[in-house]
Chain A
């Protein structure tokens, strides 16, 4: 007991980490459901439908399937590295989430820094440091499998991730210049205020070029379509994870989604004002958007339960409806309403960016390796550099004028 009372920070942090892990694991699972559903509807089909209502239990079924699959190691594989690679990929992908602020640093009734695990003063640097190590997971997986397709996939992704890392970092330096800090919360706070009283003063407005560069590099960095060459299914079979099966494969899968969440969170923080509401303070009725949204969802689900669902799906839907109803009603309470504001807007923005990710995947063909490289080095990098120089000039201009 002494230990706990002496180190309250440790206990609180551990509790936050456990909470975040729980939420994150569920989100990762349901992201696969989300992606499959969105792509399915774009392609005029239903997607997961039979496992639970609206296929809501599909992620669970997938998880169980992964656990029970035979775990194969190809002959001649470097066993240690082969096992290390997926662990590395997933651990690193999840570490970055600790730096992400899901809400304002101090919330009424909750206290200081509750909605962030580690409010670091070098948040952005740390995230980039971790994501750069992430390439090891992929490269080692490709190399240790002792197989040709994974080797090619590993080579491709090492080259790709290192190349796009440069453009990615350069694209956000403009934001760092504007806000003058590396701390995420301070960055978000520097974006408060409005142009013309209603257009939010988000970085995406002055840094639109930076944002586009960032988003394109981020898609490449996370190996997603149209830059999904490392796992380019129709060329390299499965790319670096061809030889992985069972839960090791699932770990790569989760790492990919975790990376997607990370870069979406970063985009939200850097360019879309993080947990800030897009509406002016004076529009107080907008504070009721989360409960109203949840209650509307509950109404839709109730309709579904009564009219469409049958059997077990109906029981499941009753539970989900009740959940949405209870949370929605709870959100009407002023305390909960105040707490929910930051996370709500943050997660909504992240969700929209994720949707854009999935949309891109359903629409675009895949680039070729040389095209990808020349796009990164000959287009994105110069544009990001130019953006940086112009931002710096604009920033320094008043000083220069004053001196002259």
Chain B
């Protein structure tokens, strides 16, 4: 019998390494227990719960409108997408038709959110793999998008700008010029990142062939978003189940077939460009005048003018802001395409002013379970790349 290193030390000699919850590249407080054979990962087990906020449970103690502020905090990199998912669900249970103008503005803002979120992803993924300059460049551009959100809602991140039935406020004058400025400059900046990364030999070596997931595996695990599209499945909720007038926009679903980290990188970069395309179309479509929220007495707050001048308006305003409104009993499920994948919102109403149950199908949570599949049998450095390309937000994983 020949003596190899394995037989000499015993093949079962592995080391357990706790990666996280405090680790520079676990994107928050993810903990991964790695069983290492040298530098090879024999087993990777993600452990979650370090950022449990109890948001879903808290929703049951809030009125339907108050929940919106909580949804901001689920996926804190794409608050407007969460707002949209929840508002659409509640509008569905109430049967409210949102004015077209509000719908287009919602589309424009959620696509900007997608750009901002993907910019954060490109930056953090690059810094995970050691290319730190891209990180600072992409955060610079993201800040410009956040400035638009701040201009509209007064908040950079926790916007709560979408409300049930429409928007919180009439957009301030000149906001489209600011959007135009971002839309004009962003493609050039993305070229800049691509110059630094896309054809970089080291970048290719670190991402190509790393963390492969096949289309059937991805479907079986319920992956969605760029995780799924990187494996060649052209599933996008915006196309498959259009909401908020997405069917009126012309855009392509970006896919790659390789299913590795590089494919997911390409998908996300292409999606930023695609989102810019949608934003441009939305800018054409948005009428300059018109209502920014639906008029449903007793459910949607009346305008300031009406509240001050008519007795009914005052009463409705008072009732909505003290006890809320009660949708009919029933359940709805509304899915949207968040930057991370299919964000589903399930709302159950028992006929009272507070939701009986709110459940979020968080794409980060579902995508995360593919991590062992991606990382096992690879090196420690690849685990970092794999965590990066699943694009998890721990606030969304734990909710």
Q: A residues within 8 Å of B by Cβ?
A: 39, 42-45, 148-149, 152, 156, 225-226, 228-229, 232-237, 362-371
Contacts and interface: CB of A to CB of B under 8 A. Distances in A.
Nearest to B124: A234
A369 B203 CA distance: 14
B54 interface: no
Nearest to B130: A366
A365 B380 contact: no
Contact of B205 (A225, A237, A362, A368): A368
B125 to A, nearest CB: 10
Nearest to A156: B39
Contacts of B270: none
A365 B202 contact: yes
A362 B140 CA distance: 16
A367 B379 contact: no
Contact of B200 (A228, A365, A368): A365
B15 interface: yes
B286 to A, nearest CB: 32
Contact of B23 (A156, A228, A237, A368): A237
Shortest Cβ-Cβ A-B pairs, 3 listed:
A366-B130, A234-B25, A365-B131
Q: Which of A232, A234, A371 has the most CB of B within 10 A?
A: A234
5 contacts: A39-B133, A235-B25, A235-B384, A366-B381, A367-B205
Contacts of A45: 136
Given A148-B17, A232-B381, A235-B384, 9 more contacts: A43-B132, A148-B18, A226-B130, A234-B384, A236-B380, A363-B133, A364-B131, A365-B126, A368-B381
B130 A225 contact: yes
Contact of A44 (B131, B137, B206, B382): B137
B130 A228 contact: yes
Nearest to B135: A43
A8 B92 CA distance: 94
Contact of B133 (A148, A149, A233, A362): A362
Contacts of B202: 226, 364-367, 371
B133 A43 contact: yes
Interface in B27-74: 39
B130 A365 contact: yes
Contacts of B206: 365-368, 371
Contacts of B183: none
Contacts of A365: 126, 129-131, 197, 200, 202-203, 206
Given A237-B23, A367-B202, A362 B132 contact: yes
Chain A interface main SS type? helix
A148 B132 CA distance: 25
Interface string B1-27: 000000000000001011000011100
Chain B interface main SS type? helix
A365 B130 CA distance: 4
A70 B197 CA distance: 40
Q: Which of B130, B197, B380 has the most CB of A within 10 A?
A: B130
Interface string B179-221: 0000000000000000011001011011000000000000000
B183 to A, nearest CB: 21
A364 B197 CA distance: 9
Contacts of B132: 43, 362
Nearest to A225: B130
Contacts of B128: 234
Nearest to B25: A234
Contacts of B382: 368
B127 interface: yes
Nearest to B22: A237
Contacts of A44: 136-137, 140
A237 B380 CA distance: 12
A200 to B, nearest CB: 32
A362 B132 CA distance: 6
Contacts of B131: 363-366
A235 B17 CA distance: 12
Given A152-B380, A363-B133, A234 B24 contact: yes
A365 B131 CA distance: 4
Contacts of B127: 234
B381 A364 contact: no
Contacts of A364: 130-131, 200, 202
Contacts of A148: 15, 17-18
A232 B379 contact: no
Interface in B130-159: 130-133, 136-137, 140
B200 to A, nearest CB: 7
A362 B127 CA distance: 11
Contact of A371 (B136, B197, B205): B205
Contacts of A235: 25, 380-381, 384
Q: Which of B25, B137, B202 has the most CB of A within 10 A?
A: B202
A373 to B, nearest CB: 10
A310 to B, nearest CB: 27
Nearest to A370: B379
Nearest to A149: B17
Q: Which of A42, A44, A148, A235 has the most CB of B within 10 A?
A: A235
Nearest to B378: A368
B24 A233 contact: yes
Interface string B91-110: 00000000000000000000
Contacts of B380: 152, 235-236, 369
B136 A43 contact: yes
Nearest to B385: A368
A152 B200 contact: no
Interface in B368-399: 379-382, 384
Nearest to B38: A155
A67 B24 CA distance: 25
A139 B196 CA distance: 33
Nearest to A366: B130
A39 B25 CA distance: 21
Contact of A232 (B18, B130, B136): B130
Contacts of A363: 131, 133, 196
A152 B381 CA distance: 12
Nearest to B16: A148
A371 B132 CA distance: 20
Contacts of B205: 367-368, 371
A99 B131 CA distance: 35
Interface in B200-250: 200, 202-203, 205-206
A193 to B, nearest CB: 37
B200 A43 contact: no
Contacts of A42: 133
